[in-house]
Amino acid sequence: MFIDPAFAQASPAAGPDPFTGLLIPMLLMVVIFYFLVIRPQSQRASQHREMVEKVRRGDTVVTSGGMVGKVTKVTEGSDEVEVELSDTLRIRILRSTLMDVRAKGEPVKEST
């Protein structure tokens, strides 16, 4: 009926640390987020940057506005390229607005 005084004064058993219990799942989520979102996006950005840097005269390009044209003038060190949309229409566009660069004889890609 009576509780032993030594048992009554004992500290409760220490459970798992709540900080550690939250830290492991948070680190796991960061690692998963990195491999599923950040890494693929940075790879796509570097591929796009490389593709735009290699654009040359005669390539067929697709702009972010959906216009398809042929590159007529590329100035090294400049952010602009000159694109011929028709026989009478030439425009200067920024390299960063190029979405796709096709080689001179490359066919149109089929969408699947």
Nearest to 79 by CA among 56, 102, 95: 95
Task: Say if residues 57 and 69 touch (Cβ distance below 8 Å).
Answer: no
Q: Is the pLDDT of residue 87 over 60?
A: yes
The single-letter code of the amino acid at 17 is D
| 97: DSSP letter | G
Tokens 């390539």 label which residue? 59
Q: How far is CA 86 from CA 5, 67, 90, in A?
A: 97, 11, 7
Asked if 80 and 92 count as a contact pair (C-beta separation under 8 A), the reply is: yes
pLDDT digits (tens, 9 = 90+) for 22-41: 888 899 999 999 999 999 99
The pTM score is: 0.65
Instruction: Write down the pLDDT at residue 2.
Output: 62
